[in-house]
């Protein structure tokens, strides 16, 4: 991975930060892109691009152009940007279905569309973040699971469309050990969960030349759950 240029959407969140840190440790040049404002300091040599609505194709294109302008190329895109909401169909707001589709599917689609011309110029990789909970949805997981299932199908479709040019894979985590999940599930045992660093390691493998023969994979990353 030494010298590779990687763009990470959702790069300011728990998993995004772990991917950025792991990529930097592996010798990559990294751009972190997020919906929220960028931190004031540009620490660690990371290009941080904030205030980007990644579900907007034009905004995503501007962000990717900024990455290429800074580093001269793009070798891999990691689509971490997304969101979660627990709600039942009966009691939850119907708008939540569209919100999660936008946060999870459209961000990955728009960022991938913006990155593909740059990735294809030298062969590259896209790694999406799906969800193990979208393989079989539990109660209250309908909108989230439906949107993450869309990420799975997007991954498979792009892998076929760009076979031989750009590899496209996804990880399917169970529960990530983040402060938000600990707060939401105070009685659970987080030692069974997947740490962001563990998930980031799998993401970097899929983005690396070591996974050159892998495309269209939906890789479960479920820890001990």
E strands within the chain? 5-9, 29-33, 47-49, 76-79, 124-129, 166-173, 218-221
Buried-exposed string 34-58: b where 16+ CB fall within 10 A, e elsewhere: bbeebeeeeeeebbbbeebebbeee
Residues belonging to the active site: 144
CA atoms of 31 and 121, how far apart (whole Å)? 19
Using the 8-state DSSP alphabet, how is residue 121 labeled?
A: T
Side-chain half-sphere exposure of 130, counting CA atoms within 13 A: 29
Asked if 204 and 26 touch (Cβ cutoff 8 Å), the reply is yes
Asked if 192 and 224 touch (Cβ cutoff 8 Å), the reply is yes
β-pairing, 124-129 with 5-9?
unpaired
Residue 48 β-bridge partners: 32
For the chain, give the number of residues.
225
Helix (H, G, I), strand (E, B), or coil: what is residue 30? strand
Using the 8-state DSSP alphabet, how is residue 89 labeled?
A: T
Residue 3 β-bridge partners: none
């Amino acid at each position: 991975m030494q010298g590779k240029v990687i763009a990470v959407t959702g790069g300011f969140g728990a998993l995004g930060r772990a991917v950025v840190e792991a990529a930097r440790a592996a010798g990559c040049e990294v751009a972190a892109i997020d919906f929220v404002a960028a931190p004031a300091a540009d620490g660690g040599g990371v290009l941080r691009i904030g205030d980007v609505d990644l579900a907007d194709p034009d905004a995503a294109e501007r962000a990717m152009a900024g990455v290429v302008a800074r580093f001269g190329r793009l070798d891999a895109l990691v689509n971490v940007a997304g969101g979660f909401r627990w709600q039942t169909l009966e009691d939850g707001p119907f708008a939540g279905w569209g919100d999660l589709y936008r946060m999870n599917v459209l961000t990955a689609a728009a960022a991938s569309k913006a990155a593909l011309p740059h990735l294809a110029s030298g062969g590259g990789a896209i790694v999406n973040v799906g969800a193990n909970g979208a393989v079989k949805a539990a109660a209250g997981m309908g909108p989230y699971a439906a949107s993450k299932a869309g990420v799975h199908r997007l991954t498979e479709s792009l892998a076929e469309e760009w076979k031989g040019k750009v590899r496209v894979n996804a990880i399917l985590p169970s529960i990530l050990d983040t402060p938000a999940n600990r707060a939401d599930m105070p009685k659970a045992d987080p030692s069974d969960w997947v740490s962001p660093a563990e998930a980031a390691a799998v993401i970097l493998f899929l983005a690396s030349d070591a996974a050159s023969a892998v495309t269209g994979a939906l890789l479960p990353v479920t820890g001990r759950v």
